[in-house]
């Protein structure tokens, strides 16, 4: 693991959600991109940042885009 990657729990904390929520999002396919390295799940910081940027909103009435 490099300084630019996170395992599951640190990745969840980095983007401000619970680890269980991140796991559910991974299962549904609506979370940030990840890498499966053997049994480990690894997230790149750049992918987490991109996911955060894609989910920016200016209003609660804005629709989520896919």
- Tell me: pLDDT of 57 over 70: yes
CB contact at 8 A, 35 and 42: yes
Strands 35-37 and 5-7: unpaired
| Per-residue confidence (pLDDT) for residue 27, from 0 to 100 | 96
| Per-residue confidence (pLDDT) for residue 58, from 0 to 100 | 84
- Tell me: pLDDT of 35 over 70: yes
Mean pLDDT of the chain: 91
Whether pTM > 0.85 for this model: the answer is no
Percent of the chain with pLDDT over 70: 88
Sketch the domain layout of the chain as residue ranges.
5-54
């Amino acid at each position: 693991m490099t300084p630019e990657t996170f395992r599951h729990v640190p990745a969840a904390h980095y983007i401000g959600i619970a680890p269980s929520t991140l796991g559910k999002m991974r299962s549904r396919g609506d979370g940030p991109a990840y890498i499966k390295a053997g049994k480990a799940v690894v997230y790149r910081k750049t992918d987490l940042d991109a996911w955060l940027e894609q989910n920016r909103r200016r209003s609660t009435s804005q629709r989520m885009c896919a």
